Amino acid sequence: MDVYNNTPVYRKSGDASHYLWYGIFILWGLFMMDVITTEVILSFGGYEMNSLMKMVVSSVPLHAALKMAVLSLIAVVAYVSNRITKRSGTVAVTVIIIWYTFVIVHNVTQMLLIIP
């Protein structure tokens, strides 16, 4: 048995790339919650407040596809950012998660006000 092998049994110091992928997964969940809550609000007579999204939300598949395209772009940019500046992409994804949490809270609040 070679006790002097160079195989580390621990993660390299500073390797936190898994946090980025956890964040992307959380963001995926928030995006899907946004699509679902927006559709519920619209089905009960609510309206889309974002003028850029008014055309998109009329189609659930288009709405979900746009969210996934944006998520893919965020993931690529965050990954590249992490390679250039340590943890910068992870921090950016964390900020987007916080922002999107407020979006979901707003949507749920609107649902509670609209649904009888």
8 in a structural domain: no
Cβ contacts of 29 within 8 Å, gap of 6 or more: none
- Quick one: 104 exposed, middle or buried, by C-beta within 10 A (0-12, 13-18, 19+)? middle
50 occurs within a structural domain: yes
Residue 77 lies in a domain: yes
Task: Flag whether 82 is in a domain.
Answer: yes
Q: Which domain holds residue 78?
A: 18-114
Distance separating alpha carbons of residues 5 and 11, to the nearest angstrom: 16
Handedness of CA 85, 89, 90, 91 (dihedral sign): positive
Q: Is residue 11 part of a domain?
A: no
- 1 occurs within a structural domain: no
In a domain, 51, yes or no: yes
Provide the number of structural domains found in the chain: 1
For residue 87, is it within any domain?
yes
Please state the pTM of the whole predicted model: 0.81
From first to last of the 116 residues of the chain, give the pLDDT tens digit.
555 666 555 455 555 678 889 999 999 999 999 999 999 999 998 888 888 888 888 899 999 999 999 999 999 999 999 989 888 999 999 999 999 999 999 999 999 998 87
Which residue, among 43, 68, 38, 71, has the nearest Cα to 54 in the 3D structure? 38
